[in-house]
Amino acid sequence: MRPFEPLVPGRVGIYDCGPTVYSYQHIGNLYRYIVADVVRRSFEYAGYAVTQVMNITDVGHLFDDADQGLDKMETAAKREGRDPAAIARHYTDVFMADRATLNVLPPQVMPLATAHVPEMVAAVERLVASGHAYVAGDGVYFDVSTFPGYGNRLNPGALDERQAGARVEVNEHKRHPNDFALWRSAKPGDLQQWDSPWGRGNPGWHIECSVMSMRYLGETFDIHSGGEDHLFPHHECEIAQSESLTGKPFVRYWMHTYFLSVDGGSMHKSKGNVYLLSDFAAHGCEPLAFRLLGLGVGYRKSLDFTWRALQDAQRRLDRWRSAIGRTWQALEGRTGAVAAADPVRGAFLASIADDFNTPRALAQAEAALDLLNAPDEPTRARGLALLFDMDRVLGLSLRDSAEVTVLLADEERRLLAEREAARAAKDFARSDALRAELERIGIRVKDTKDGQRWERVPRAGEGA
């Protein structure tokens, strides 16, 4: 690791490899965007102005990241009997809705690959003209022999390891097995194809990200993120073609999130363990519990998903909300401000500045939570203020959940006041009757040394 130094002081440009929108995004895909969101929020928390770009791949991505085979978008279009554009719109909408339930901020720029095909064609033309690419019988390929170090920039020696004993499908059109497609000639029945100097066809997956990232962030930018599966070939191909186009360094810092595993193993349809956010409700959990679960593991380690782990995260989130809600009520929404020199805030900032160490950051949030048990009001107010401040990075909607606890209807407020008066008058029969009535309408009352406290619960007959 090395200290972060932005290209432009005070500003950060981030490109996140976006999804191929041919189906629903499972929780492994979504976890990667939680990580990307924490990165953006951390820089903003530290005072940087962030421009975050995330593409939408709606053409060009073949299964197994290959140069030949089935295009994911066309496969989905034929499967569902709709055109690729309709498929892309539908699954993009679902994906963005899932992101929103996880409190993942929308990127400032979200380009579609299909909207940038002319720019991709122009980039390929330049690579051909400079000798870095060649026209073949089935499209245009990047010649990896023209880019020293191809395949080993992000993981030195890895290309040699991959090649040892590997079975490489022979493509008679390629000069070298590792040459990769920049443009593919259209095949009969292709649903997505455009004009180009090499005939009708469609772009390769790798050229899309190079063109869109440089279009919105410049020829060199700060951070490029993706999953560990993007290390090779996708990101190595991006580096080769981008730096061949510009003669400049492409990306200053790369981030790769480790895979999510399930019950200690891989996620696969054949195992029946490819889970969606919509599966959580049946287990009594919500999407923000998954976010909290993900925060407990640094992005350089694999997150092992189990239903028990998610339920533990849900209980932890419920515990936080309950403590925050009680304190918010007792203080009537007073939190004060967080001092710049507050040691808990300083430790939190140091945690996220240390390669986005969210497990350590959560420990500081727990320290702030402990302050809510203090006997004096100023310390409890400090704890609330710290938690709400930290939530700018954690993204758990802690203030929103606290504010919901005090949004009382007139009837609810009247019954609570009447019960408090009955209790003060030692009319315990009336107090108990009002307690039962409040619980029936979804308000559970608890008597404490500091007075009457309440929390929202499912209404009678609604279930948990």
Q: What is the pLDDT of residues 420-454, one digit of tens each?
A: 888 888 899 999 999 998 888 888 888 876 677 77
Mark whether 17 and 126 lie in a shared domain. yes
- CB-side neighbour CA atoms (13 Å) of 199: 10
Are 438 and 412 within 8 A, CB to CB?
yes
Mark whether 80 and 225 lie in a shared domain. yes
* Overall number of domains in the chain: 3
Q: Residue 96 above 90 pLDDT?
A: yes
Q: State residue 125's pLDDT score.
A: 98
The verdict on residue 176 lying in a domain is: no
- Backbone φ and ψ for 8, nearest 5 degrees, come out as -120, 120
Residue 211 CA to residue 66 CA, distance in Å, equals: 19
Q: What is the CATH number of the domain that holds 363?
A: 1.20.120.640
Q: State residue 333's pLDDT score.
A: 84
The verdict on residue 188 lying in a domain is: no
Mean pLDDT confidence for 199-221:
96
The verdict on residue 238 lying in a domain is: yes
Mark whether 32 and 114 lie in a shared domain. yes
pLDDT confidence band for 347 (50 / 70 / 90): very high
Residue 55 CA to residue 53 CA, distance in Å, equals: 7
The verdict on residue 168 lying in a domain is: no
Which residue type does 76 have?
A
Mark whether 90 and 210 lie in a shared domain. yes
Q: What is the CATH number of the domain that holds 84?
A: 3.40.50.620
Mark whether 371 and 222 lie in a shared domain. no
The token duo for 219 is 């020829």
The verdict on residue 112 lying in a domain is: yes
Q: State residue 31's pLDDT score.
A: 97
Q: Residue 170 above 80 pLDDT?
A: no
Mark whether 116 and 32 lie in a shared domain. yes
Residue 48 CA to residue 270 CA, distance in Å, equals: 44
Mark whether 66 and 209 lie in a shared domain. yes
Mark whether 381 and 418 lie in a shared domain. no
Mean pLDDT confidence for 365-378:
96
- Give me the percent of the chain exceeding a pLDDT of 90: 70
According to DSSP, the β-strands at 139-142 and 133-136 are antiparallel
Mark whether 394 and 424 lie in a shared domain. no
DSSP codes joined into one string, 336-388: ----TT-HHHHHHHHHHHTT--HHHHHHHHHHHHHGGG-SSHHHHHHHHHHHH
Q: State residue 214's pLDDT score.
A: 98
Mark whether 72 and 128 lie in a shared domain. yes
- Give the domain range for residue 338: 315-398
Q: Residue 46 above 80 pLDDT?
A: yes
The beta strands (E) that lie in 67-158 are given as 133-136, 139-142
Last residue of a domain, one of 366, 398, 430: 398
Mark whether 27 and 94 lie in a shared domain. yes
Q: State residue 464's pLDDT score.
A: 41
When mean pLDDT is compared over 103-117, 153-167, 276-290, 444-458, the highest value belongs to: 103-117
Mark whether 211 and 359 lie in a shared domain. no
The verdict on residue 185 lying in a domain is: no
Residue 395 CA to residue 102 CA, distance in Å, equals: 8
The verdict on residue 415 lying in a domain is: yes
Last residue of a domain, one of 370, 398, 426: 398
The verdict on residue 416 lying in a domain is: yes
Q: State residue 462's pLDDT score.
A: 52
Burial 141-161 (b: 16+ CB within 10 A, else e): bbbbebbeebbebebeeebee
Who has greater pLDDT, 50 or 415? 50
Q: Residue 165 above 70 pLDDT?
A: no
Q: Residue 44 above 90 pLDDT?
A: yes
